[in-house]
Amino acid sequence: MRPTVTQPMVSLSWTITLLIGLVFLALGYGLRLEVQGAVDAADHSWLDLALLLCAYLFAFCLKPMQKTVLRKLCQREAHRAHQKATR
């Protein structure tokens, strides 16, 4: 039987996942600003398209990432509960 997942665990896993997404967004925006300064202003539409496509693909990765983070948090909680029970 699978253990039940508490609401704080789900919220924490989504928070961690969205923070990871925010880091990737900041890296993409920083890359865009860096390349924009080095490349002609009229020639950076390919970079905008590439960043948009990466963001679109990343949106599909959010739910699997959240499930992975939630699974790891549940494993950690179960391990802690087991350690407390053996003491």
Which CA distances in Å does 75 have to 22, 58, 68, 72, 82? 25, 25, 11, 5, 10
Q: Which residue is associated with the tokens 């928070």?
A: 15
pLDDT at position 87 over 50 = yes
Structure confidence by residue, pLDDT tens digits, 21-56 = 889 888 888 888 887 777 666 666 777 788 888 888
Which CA distances in Å does 81 have to 57, 76, 85? 37, 9, 6
The confidence band for 4, taking pLDDT boundaries of 50, 70 and 90, is low
Measured CA to CA, the distance from residue 79 to residue 42 in angstroms comes to: 55
